[in-house]
């Protein structure tokens, strides 16, 4: 398996320390706003019912948490967890009207949650930034209740050669866009490199199975630019 740039100690933290203040703006700009559709599709596939607890890991500024509460008429409870304190503070301010969110600063590899405590676990565009994919998956399995569901939204491998050609060209532009909007080029060089080096859809399915998830499957979106992976703790 490939070794990721994120395994360099402190690199990911440094990247997000530089971009947190304009994180949402850059997400909109780089994806032409499509990331919002991808996240809504994740919630639609989850189809959560009322009274359930979600752990949203690598939560950023809380997009998934907001969608989850809106989807369930704000009747559910969420743990929004991210290793970057500045990102958490920005999320708290953005979603201060939402009272059902517990914000926590911690990593996917060491969740501050009890075993068998959550009905759902989501991680969106964060798995490839973890130091250990296996540890992140085993922690997700640990905190889920029996019958709980794991959902991962992540950049993946494009299935269309024409789209892949365009995407590779666009990826070369992204760092320069980051320089203009955020004032930093290096974080977006990391971003494009980490996407390029991340494992493919079927490799992630195999890792999920190795970490005891069952009924594993995935759905490609936008031609495989991103994929949603799903697995169950049974």
DSSP assignment of 161-199 equals: HHHHHHHHHHHHHHHHHHHHHTS-SHHHHHHHHHHHHS-
Task: Give the model's pLDDT for residue 16.
Answer: 66
pLDDT digits (tens, 9 = 90+) for 174-196: 888 778 876 777 777 888 888 88
Fold of 31-160+200-232: Rossmann fold (3.40.50)
Q: How far apart are CA 12 and CA 60, in angstroms?
A: 13
Q: How far apart are CA 230 and CA 45, in angstroms?
A: 9
Task: Give the model's pLDDT for residue 127.
Answer: 96
Query: Which of 12 and 217 is assigned the larger pLDDT?
Result: 217
Q: How far apart are CA 137 and CA 150, in angstroms?
A: 9
What the block records as the tokens of 207 is 């890792």
Asked whether the whole model's pTM tops 0.85, one would answer yes
What the block records as the tokens of 18 is 């530089």
Task: Give the model's pLDDT for residue 27.
Answer: 72
Domain positions in the chain: 31-160+200-232
| DSSP H stretches of helix in 57-119 | 63-71, 85-94
Give the SS3 label for residue 219.
strand
């Amino acid at each position: 398996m490939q070794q990721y740039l994120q395994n360099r100690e402190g690199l990911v933290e440094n990247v997000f320390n530089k971009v947190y203040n304009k994180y949402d703006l850059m997400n909109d700009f780089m994806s032409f706003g499509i990331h919002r559709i991808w996240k809504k599709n994740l919630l639609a596939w989850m189809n959560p019912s009322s009274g359930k607890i979600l752990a949203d890991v690598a939560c950023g500024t809380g997009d998934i948490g907001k969608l989850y509460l809106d989807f369930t008429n704000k009747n559910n409870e969420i743990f929004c967890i991210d290793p970057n304190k500045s990102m958490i503070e920005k999320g708290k301010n953005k979603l201060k009207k939402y009272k059902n969110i517990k914000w926590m600063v911690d990593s996917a590899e060491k969740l501050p949650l009890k075993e068998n405590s959550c009905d759902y676990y989501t991680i969106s565009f964060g798995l490839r930034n973890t130091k250990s994919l296996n540890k992140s998956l085993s922690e997700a399995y640990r905190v889920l209740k029996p019958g709980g569901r794991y959902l991962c939204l992540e950049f993946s491998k494009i299935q269309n050669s024409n789209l892949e050609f365009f995407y590779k060209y666009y990826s070369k532009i992204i760092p320069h866009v980051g320089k203009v909007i955020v004032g930093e080029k290096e974080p977006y060089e990391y971003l494009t490199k980490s996407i390029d080096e991340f494992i493919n859809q079927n490799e992630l399915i195999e890792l999920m199975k190795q970490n005891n998830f069952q009924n594993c499957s995935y759905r490609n979106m936008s031609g495989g630019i991103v994929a949603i992976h799903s697995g169950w703790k049974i």
